[in-house]
Amino acid sequence: MKKIKIVLLLLMPLLSSAQTETFNLYHSDADAKAELMQAVKQAAVEHKHVFMIIGGNWCKWCRIFDKFQHEHYKIDSAFHANYVLLHVNFSKENKNNELMKELDFPQRFGFPVFVILNEKGEKIHTQNTSYLEKDEGYDEDKVLEFLDQWSMNALKPENY
């Protein structure tokens, strides 16, 4: 019994630090419309599309995708090369209802949900991310193909 108590005492700091580690990518107090306007301006200057990832800190699959994106160099590079990335909060505290209405209610697809806007701020695609999943994560080939198919170059008629 004494050995069990000692082991538990030694493990407690590790367990408590794992519990306090928080995911804080989405901000319920952010002005999503203002951030979107800024992203559209940046996209126009950089000749990119705006890639919105709508989700929340509460969302398991949002955390999984964020980790996946940063662990896969090709994915992270494709984002930076082709898109202005914007994370938009959807939570009990702030559902960004006005923006969701303007985007034709993308939350109906679950979370995270991707919305792509052109450099003028016009919505060109909404993506249910479950089609990009594989097992308990995401499929690198599917995500890369998706990012390529919705890039600026993919939508130029002269490329075909």
Q: Is the pLDDT of residue 148 over 50?
A: yes
pLDDT, tens digit, 9 for 90 and up, residues 80-130 = 999 999 999 999 999 999 999 999 999 999 999 999 999 999 999 999 999
Number of structural domains (the chain) is 1
Is the bond leading into 112 cis (omega within 30 degrees of zero)? yes
Q: Convert 55-94 to b/e letters by CB count within 10 Å (16 or more is b).
A: bbbebebbbbbbebbeeeeebeebbeebbbebbbbbbeeb
pTM: 0.86
pLDDT, tens digit, 9 for 90 and up, residues 14-55 = 444 444 368 899 999 999 999 999 999 999 999 999 999 999
Which CATH number is 67's domain given?
A: 3.40.30.10
**Domain contains 160:** no
**Domain contains 158:** no
**Domain contains 30:** yes
**SS3 of the chain: helix, strand, coil, percent, to 5:** 55, 20, 30
**Domain contains 107:** yes
pLDDT recorded at residue 152:
94
**Domain contains 147:** yes
pLDDT band at 159 (very low <50, low <70, confident <90, very high): confident
Domain membership of residue 41 as a residue range: 23-152
Specify the pairing of strand 49-55 against strand 83-89.
Answer: parallel
Residue appearing with tokens 């939570």: 91
